Amino acid sequence: MAAQVRAGSSSARTDTSAPAGHAISSDSGGVRFDAAGHPIVPIVLSGYCEGEDCGTSFDAVACLPTGLRPFPSDTSPITLPVAAGDSVHVARRDLRVLSPGVVVVTQDFVLDQEAGEDAVGTTMYPRADTVRLARGDTLYLISYLALGRWSWALRTRLHDSEEFWAAAPDPGLGGAGEDSSHAVARSRPTTEDWWLVQARGGASGWWHGDGHQELQSVSDMQHWSDDCDQVRKRSSEGEAGAPAR
């Protein structure tokens, strides 16, 4: 699917001003904003992970020794060791947005339609919300959803759409858009993927999933014909594997 944009006036704006030092919540889906309309970080999206076929609760196995922390922070000490071969349960995954991505609008336009597939092919449908954007507006990318769609904020309101901007230069989730006629991404969100893990005996703690291979989803290993021997081999060869989803 693709977002439909058309040129148009963007003079109609919602006044979202607030006293200095006060957060604006409105219909922001749990994301808070400061008086200038910037998202307040960190943003914690509980029970959430990015991408297609992403799971937030599953059984896992420790292919390599690791440890759990009492709080979802790398500065929190490891207090609960997990031995290689231990079975654990991932009760929840939280996405912590440390900084949103930035998209700058390059011309006035109206985002009011999106493409959808039906029996006769691609059809344009009205969006549930019409978003008027002006040249110079800043969109804040909050999180990647799936299939090229993002959650983003404009003037303290959350929206979602497919990418209608030229992609940021750094690699990451989402498409590789090159059309800069409407908007250009300056950066992507900086995020951390934290797993709330229940170990043997009922104790629980947090594990930082980004770039680590120690814990692996049992169902994903079965689906991809993977196993701990292969995980250990990749680790010994220095491959930075993405965490199992």
Written as one letter, the residue type at 18 is A
Is-contact 26 17, C-beta < 8 A?
no
Instruction: Answer yes or no: is 33 within a domain.
Output: no
Residue 42 preceded by cis peptide, ω within 30: yes
Under the banding of pLDDT at 50, 70 and 90, the label for residue 13 is very low
What does the pLDDT read at residue 93? Answer: 96
Q: What is the pTM of this model?
A: 0.80
Q: Is the dihedral of CA 50, 192, 23, 135 positive or negative?
A: negative
Q: How many domains does the chain have?
A: 2
Q: Are residues 133 and 159 in the same domain?
A: yes
Distance between alpha carbon 48 and the CA centroid of its chain, in Å? Answer: 8
184 and 107 in one domain?
Answer: yes
Q: Judge whether 97 and 190 are in contact, CB under 8 Å.
A: yes
* Torsion over CA: 28, 31, 35, 38 (sign): negative
Tokens of residue 81, six digits = 């060791």
Residue 25, in any domain of the structure: no
Instruction: Classify residue 43: in a domain, yes or no.
Output: no
Q: How confident is the model at residue 21 (pLDDT cuts 50, 70, 90)?
A: very low
Q: What is the mean pLDDT of the chain?
A: 83
- Phi then psi for residue 223, to 5 deg, are -65, -40
Q: How confident is the model at residue 3 (pLDDT cuts 50, 70, 90)?
A: low
Q: Is residue 3 part of a domain?
A: no
Residues 144, 133: contact at Cβ < 8 Å?
A: no
106 lies in the same domain as 184:
yes
- Measured CA to CA, the distance from residue 42 to residue 99 in angstroms comes to 7
* 204 shares a domain with 134: no
CATH number at residue 89: 2.30.30.40
Give the DSSP H/E element, type plus range, for residue 124. strand 121-133
pLDDT of residue 11 exceeding 60, the answer is no
Average pLDDT over residues 122-135: 88
Residues 173 and 126 in one domain: yes
pLDDT value at residue 98: 97
The CATH code of the domain that includes 165 is 2.30.30
Residues shown for the chain: 245
- Within a domain: residue 6? no
Q: 122 is in which domain, residue-wise?
A: 101-188
Do residues 1 and 147 touch, judged by C-beta distance below 8 A?
yes
111 and 228 inside one domain: no
Please report whether residue 116 resides in a domain: yes
pLDDT at residue number 40: 96
Q: Over 90: is that where the pLDDT of 66 sits?
A: yes
Query: Does 15 score more than 70 pLDDT?
Result: no
The mean-pLDDT minimum among 79-88, 162-171, 186-195, 219-228 falls in 162-171
Give yes or no: residues 83 and 65 share one domain: yes
Within a domain: residue 48? Answer: no
Q: What is the DSSP letter of 61?
A: E
Q: Are residues 67 and 126 in the same domain?
A: no
Kindly state the average pLDDT of the residues 118-143: 88
Do 123 and 230 lie in a common domain? no
Q: To the nearest whole percent, how much of the chain has pLDDT over 90?
A: 62
